[in-house]
Structures are given as structure tokens and as C-alpha cells.
């Protein structure tokens, strides 16, 4: 009996093993030249402006959900939007559909998609000192959008593909830029991968220009970069993601300081907006101990120091029991230790704390499969699918859940939908084998 037949038999008997659950999760894991709007020179881009916007619509919700969604605080999200609006009207591309949200993620970072959909993690926001530093952070991300860095890198990827395979540029563009499947073609891992140091320098320069245009002191950019340099030395593990996507150096801080003291010297008499920043972020800063405990837990979890991670997450939950992120992270930590029944309790608690956010729904679905409860698994996977449509892996797992419930026809529909997305990999092999075994394909 092969692995596909073995899994099918286990589903029939509702005796799916942990090894098979892990196999399912691994098998279903998916996740031209133009004028530069900044300098007017010719740049190679792989996406038109409409495609940049379409990428945001298709991919950004998935990534923001991976970072546990926007914080449930309308006031702080509105404040971030107000600062962003003050800046984006002064950029080279004010027509882009910019949007801003504070994310529940604890790691220290901010990022934007090519059309201007921006996320700022709560982990970095609680470490900023004033609104000018926040403006420097948002200005830097706006610099990436306005210089079209993601689009340029996509164009470079297309050229590399052409060089490697000998296909023509039009065929490559269709493969990379086609919007029917752009989420799986591109993915956040490609769009948000490391910018070059030249990209970072340009984004710094543009960000400092935009914040000065918007009425902020240029020293805000210096303060931001000094903060990051200091934290890189003090807690490098907590900044790992920030520095993988935004290469940092004291040279960039020194350049920002030089510009603040020369070209933008007159701006430094302006108010940094510290009082307004402190008032607007007070609710988030109150739970800074929870955020810091989660940061330590995530660093330990990445090192597979599960006992240490669990202790940190328990500290976070003791301080803020209804913190969505802490409950999700505790569930992940417990599941990594094969404590799936306990993990399920925390994941279910997270769905009640924040029912509009998708990640906990997916986690409950996966853990329910491990607990041999395919009906509950399907219920929560379907909720995830309605909140964030288009995750092929979830489509496959819905098929597995339905098969476990004995609903072959419905399972076949999910497997067929999955195969329309991809025909490669173990999940595709399994889906095809079930359709073949049930007589839907020959």
C-alpha cells in the first residue's frame, strides 16, 4: 500500500496519525522598461502600475494575516493613517491607493507592497519615541513605492529567468505578471525579500524628503535609524526580520544625520510631535511587557527552545490574557511539542478574541484534523477561506476534511479546485489519486 492509499484508509477509519497530519501540512504549504517616477530615468520593471495595485489586492491580505492582522484598535490605526496621509500627498506618486495598518506581529519591522499597502508591526511602534520617527519610518516605505523598487526587482527576476531558460521577455512577463494566479506566482516572500543597499539608500533619501515636505523635522529619520542601530546591537534576534528585508548600517544613520544638518537644517526647529504620538499610542504602549515577552518567546521558538518559549508566552498571557497574538503563539509552541489538545484550546480562544482574523481559524482547522475531528477542521478551514480566499493549501485541507467526514463528492470538488491551481507536489498527487480512485478521472 502506498502513502496515498494509506492516508485514504486512515481518513476512512478516522485514525489519521500525527505523522500523516505533518505530511498533509507540508504537502499543502503554498504560499519591461518604464520611466522612474522619482528621477525620470529609464528603469526595468516587471509590473505596470495596474499590476502593482493588483498585487496589493491579491497578496497583501495574505501577508497581513500571516502577521496576525491589524490590531483591534480603531484609534491607533486611524492615527497611523493620518500620519501616512500627511506624507503620501507629498510623494512623487500621490495617486497610488496607499493604506496603513498596525499589525499584531511582535517582530520589529514595517513593509509595503508595490501599490502602497503598508503594515507597521506593533513590535516597532512601541519602541518609537515620537511622531517624527514614525514619519521617517513611513516615509522610508513610501520611498520604496515611489522608486518602484519591488517592480524593478520583479523586472530583474524576469531578465534572470530569460537568461536561464532562453525564453523571450513576453513569455516571462506573462508567467510572472499574470493576475489570475499572482498570489502563488509572486508571494510575499519574493516581493518583500531583501532590498539592495542602493534601494535602501534611495528609500532613506526619499523618505527624509517626504517627511520634510510634510512639515516634520528631518532629525526624525536620524532618530529612527539610531534606534534600529542600537537595537541591532542589544537584541539582534528580535530584529532578524527587519534586517533581512531592510539591510541596516551606521552608514545610513550617518547619511541621514548629514542631510538633517545640511540640506534640511531649517526643518529641525519643528515639533517632533512627541505628545501627540504618546497620546495616540498609549493603549499599545500599555501592553509593551506583553509584546516584549512575545518577542522573547518567538526568538526561543525559532531556536527550538520550546520550554523557554512556552514560559515567555505564559508571561505574556498572564499580563494580557486576551491578547490575540500571545494565544496564537502559545498554540504554535504547544503544537510544536506535540501537545495538540492544549494547543487547540489556545487557538480556539484566539478565534473568540478576534473572529475577523484568519490565522487562528486555520490553526484550529489543522489542530482539529490532528485531533481526529474532521467536521470541526472543515468548519474552521472554511471560515479561513471566506475571510481570505485563494489559499490553495486550505482548499486541499478542506478536501481532506470532507473526505474524513465521508463526503466524497464535496471532497472531490475541493481536490479538483486544488488541481486547477497546481499539478505539482505531494498534495497534487494525493488529490489526483483520490479523483482517480473515485472514478472522476481516468
> pLDDT tens-digit profile of 377-394?
999 999 999 999 988 889
User: Comparing 30-44, 366-380, 408-422, which segment has the lowest mean pLDDT?
Assistant: 30-44
pLDDT of residue 380: 97
pLDDT at 191 over 50: no
What does the pLDDT average to over 6-19? 78
In angstroms, the first-to-last Cα distance of the chain is: 20
pTM above the 0.75 mark? Answer: yes
What does the pLDDT average to over 265-279? 97
pLDDT of residue 154: 55
Percentage above 70 pLDDT, the chain: 81
Cell numbers at 338, concatenated = 506535540
Q: What is the pLDDT of residues 133-190, one digit of tens each?
A: 999 999 999 999 998 877 666 544 433 332 322 222 222 222 222 222 222 233 344 4
When pLDDT is cut at 50, 70 and 90, the band that residue 199 belongs to is confident
φ and ψ at residue 373, rounded to 5 degrees: -125, 75
Half-sphere exposure of 190 (CA within 13 A, CB side): 20
Q: What is the pLDDT of residues 226-243, one digit of tens each?
A: 988 887 776 655 545 444
φ and ψ at residue 390, rounded to 5 degrees: 105, 0
Q: What is the pLDDT of residues 212-223, one digit of tens each?
A: 999 999 999 999
DSSP string, 197-238: HHHHHHHHHHHHHHHHHTT--THHHHHHHHHHHHHHHH-GGG
User: Comparing 28-37, 256-265, 302-311, which segment has the lowest mean pLDDT?
Assistant: 28-37
Q: What is the pLDDT of residues 303-334, one digit of tens each?
A: 899 999 999 999 999 999 999 999 999 999 99
Biggest alpha carbon–alpha carbon distance for the chain: 77
φ and ψ at residue 57, rounded to 5 degrees: -65, -35
Amino acid at each position: 500500500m502506498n502513502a496515498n492509499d494509506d492516508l485514504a484508509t486512515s481518513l476512512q477509519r478516522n485514525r489519521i496519525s500525527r505523522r500523516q497530519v505533518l505530511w498533509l501540512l507540508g504537502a499543502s504549504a503554498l504560499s519591461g522598461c518604464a520611466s522612474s517616477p522619482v528621477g525620470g530615468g529609464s528603469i526595468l520593471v516587471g509590473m505596470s502600475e495596474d499590476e502593482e495595485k493588483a498585487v496589493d489586492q491579491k497578496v497583501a491580505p495574505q501577508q497581513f494575516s500571516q502577521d496576525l492582522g491589524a490590531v483591534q484598535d480603531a484609534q491607533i490605526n486611524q492615527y497611523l493613517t493620518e500620519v501616512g496621509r500627511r506624507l503620501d500627498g507629498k510623494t512623487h506618486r500621490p495617486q497610488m491607493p496607499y493604506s496603513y495598518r498596525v499589525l499584531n506581529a511582535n517582530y520589529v519591522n514595517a513593509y509595503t507592497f508595490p501599490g502602497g499597502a503598508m503594515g507597521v508591526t506593533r513590535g516597532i511602534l512601541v519602541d518609537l519615541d515620537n511622531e517624527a520617527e514614525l514619519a521617517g519610518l513611513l516615509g522610508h516605505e513610501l520611498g520604496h513605492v515611489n522608486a518602484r523598487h519591488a517592480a524593478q526587482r520583479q523586472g530583474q527576476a524576469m531578465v534572470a529567468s530569460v537568461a536561464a531558460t532562453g525564453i523571450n521577455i513576453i513569455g516571462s512577463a506573462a508567467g510572472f505578471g499574470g493576475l489570475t494566479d499572482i498570489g502563488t506566482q509572486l508571494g510575499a516572500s519574493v516581493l518583500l525579500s531583501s532590498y539592495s543597499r542602493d534601494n535602501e539608500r534611495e528609500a532613506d533619501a526619499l523618505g527624509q524628503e517626504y517627511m520634510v515636505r510634510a512639515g516634520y523635522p528631518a532629525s526624525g529619520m536620524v532618530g529612527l535609524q539610531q534606534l534600529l542601530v542600537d537595537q541591532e546591537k542589544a537584541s539582534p534576534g528580535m530584529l532578524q526580520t527587519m534586517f533581512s528585508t531592510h539591510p541596516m548600517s551606521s552608514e545610513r544613520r550617518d547619511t541621514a544625520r548629514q542631510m538633517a544638518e545640511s540640506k534640511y537644517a531649517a526643518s529641525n526647529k519643528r515639533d517632533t510631535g512627541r505628545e501627540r504620538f504618546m497620546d495616540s499610542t498609549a493603549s499599545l504602549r500599555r501592553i509593551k511587557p506583553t509584546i516584549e515577552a512575545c518577542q522573547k518567546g518567538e526568538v526561543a521558538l525559532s531556536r527550538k527552545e520550546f520550554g523557554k518559549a512556552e514560559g515567555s508566552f505564559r508571561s505574556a498571557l498572564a499580563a494580557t490574557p486576551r491578547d490575540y497574538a500571545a494565544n496564537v503563539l502559545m498554540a504554535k509552541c504547544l503544537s510544536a511539542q506535540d501537545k495538540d489538545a492544549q494547543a487547540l484550546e489556545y487557538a480556539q480562544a484566539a478565534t473568540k478574541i478576534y473572529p475577523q482574523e484568519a490565522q487562528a481559524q486555520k490553526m484550529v482547522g489543522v489542530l482539529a484534523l490532528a485531533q481526529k475531528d474532521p467536521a470541526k477542521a472543515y468548519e474552521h478551514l472554511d471560515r479561513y477561506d471566506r475571510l481570505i480566499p485563494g489559499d490553495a493549501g486550505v482548499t486541499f485541507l478542506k478536501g481532506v476534511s470532507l473526505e474524513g467526514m465521508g463526503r466524497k463528492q464535496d471532497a472531490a470538488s475541493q481536490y479538483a479546485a486544488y488541481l486547477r491551481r497546481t499539478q505539482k507536489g505531494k498534495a497534487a498527487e494525493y488529490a489526483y489519486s483520490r479523483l482517480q480512485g473515485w472514478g472522476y478521472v481516468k
